[in-house]
Structure 1
């Protein structure tokens, strides 16, 4: 991954944007990673992957809950506020 320090990123932002179209660019500040600049296409792809993983996790949790006898009625009883 290409790497550039924050000062150069600021001074050469146009070139940085062009580089990000080819692949992610790590921006550092004081020698430490401060962020990553990437193309919109790369961002949307990563975002889609994250949502797909979340949906799969929720689906697995729903199946496990159903397999263990969790129904809407049982859930409603558990959530009743008995104060």
Structure 2
């Protein structure tokens, strides 16, 4: 996991976004970890928000 200070994250926000799309980035303030930035895909995977695959269609031969 990459790590950067809050000042580095602020001053290089575009770089932070690019990096977080590839791997989690830990943001530190005064040397202490405070947040982790992750891609939306990773967030959805971790939080269970990814849509489930549709259920298989039932056999419609009788119609």
Q: Pick the TM interval, shorter chain.
A: 0.7 to 0.9
C-alpha displacement of 1:25: 0.2
TM-score normalized by the length of structure 1: 0.57
The whole-number CA distance in structure 2 between the counterparts of 1:26 and 1:45 is 19
Bigger Rg over Cα: 1
The structure whose RCO (Cα within 8 Å, separation 6+) is larger is 2
Please report how far the alpha carbon of residue 38 of structure 1 lies from its aligned counterpart in structure 2 after TM superposition.
0.5
Counting matched residue pairs gives 49
Higher helix share: 1
TM-score normalized with structure 2 length: 0.75
Structure having the higher strand fraction is 2
The correspondence of residues 58-73 of structure 1 with structure 2, limited to 5 A, is none
Report the RMSD for the aligned CA atoms in angstroms.
Answer: 1.2
**Correspondence for 1:33:** 33
Alignment of 1:44-55 (within 5 A): 44-48=44-48
Alignment gaps of 5+ in structure 1: 50-83
Q: Distance in 2 between matches of 1:39 and 1:11?
A: 19
